Amino acid sequence: GENVEQHPSTLSVQEGDSAVIKCTYSDSASNYFPWYKQELGKRPQLIIDIRSNVGEKKDQRIAVTLNKTAKHFSLHITETQPEDSAVYFCAASRRGGADGLTFGKGTHLIIQP
Amino acid sequence: DVKVTQSSRYLVKRTGEKVFLECVQDMDHENMFWYRQDPGLGLRLIYFSYDVKMKEKGDIPEGYSVSREKKERFSLILESASTNQTSMYLCASSLAGQDYEQYFGPGTRLTVT
């Protein structure tokens, strides 16, 4: 089955700096890579996703890159703000959101004022 | 607006009890999923369902079963609860097809004593 590794487990950055979280996956048939943000006590919410026919996708301060050859994908957050503090999870699946997702273990992002 | 609800936010049960966790979605989604979330382990897929009366095992189905008698409702059953099933349980749903995201419920924190 699929295995998703996520690094780092904790990331502390100064407000206004950039943050990068990296994931690798093992199943070459995976073609959907979502990122979820989970604030303390709240449900995970999708913030951005990418499919295997695309190398990069941006949404305002958030971007995701995908390298299918190396089987890794990354989340980039620029100009970080206090409200970006949360746990971020990467995931992978073979059939988009219609399939069970395999998640990484999560990254606790801390934005220092 | 998609709404996924779970019957309880907090639940305390004794070892050996039969436990039912309920999930309801109001957007006519075909797919429904149960995950458990543990600190440092991320989210792990227990069971999922593509349609009424259909079920598929996820990565960690041991000790659990599921029921989907109606399209909007997906139940997770712990036949004989054990202390290692103390966890946060998250339900999710999505439309059929690969183009749609999974939406999560608020979670049920289950403690087995």
Of A1, A97, A105, the CB nearest to B59: A1
B14 CA: distance to closest CA in chain A (Å): 24
pLDDT at B2: 67
Q: State whether residue A105 sits within 8 Å of chain B by CB.
A: yes
- Do the chains contact at B104 and A44, CB–CB below 8 Å? yes
Of A95, A96, A103, the CB nearest to B43: A103
pLDDT at A14: 98
- B88-108: average pLDDT: 92
For residue A6, the chain B residue with the least C-alpha distance is: B42
Distance CA A51, CA B98 (A): 10
φ and ψ of A33, to 5 deg: -135, 95
- B39-55: average pLDDT: 94
Low-confidence residues of chain A: pLDDT under 70: none
User: Residue B21 in 3-state DSSP?
Assistant: strand
Contact B109, B9 (CB under 8 A): yes
Distance CA B3, CA A97 (A): 16
- Do the chains contact at B98 and A105, CB–CB below 8 Å? no
Q: Choose the mutation target among B102, B104, B109 for the interface with A, i.e. most A CBs under 10 Å.
A: B102
Cis peptide leading into B61, omega within 30 of 0? no
Q: How many CB atoms lie within 10 A of CB A19?
A: 18
- B23-50: average pLDDT: 96
Contact B31, B48 (CB under 8 A): yes
- B86-102: average pLDDT: 91
Query: In this structure, is the dihedral angle defined by the CA atoms of residues A106, A65, A4 and B49, taken in order, positive or negative?
Result: positive
Residues in chain A: 113
pLDDT at A109: 98
- B78-106: average pLDDT: 94
pLDDT at A32: 94
Asked if the model's pLDDT at residue B61 lies above 90, the reply is yes
The contact set of B with A (CB < 8 A) is 31, 33, 35, 40-45, 48, 50, 56, 58-59, 90, 94-107
- Do the chains contact at A46 and B102, CB–CB below 8 Å? yes
Average pLDDT, chain B: 95
Interface A:B, Cβ pairs < 8 A: 69
Contact A77, A11 (CB under 8 A): no
pLDDT at A96: 84
pLDDT at A95: 86
Query: Residue A93 has what DSSP assignment?
Result: B
The closest of B29, B34, B28, B32 to B47, measured between CA atoms, is B34
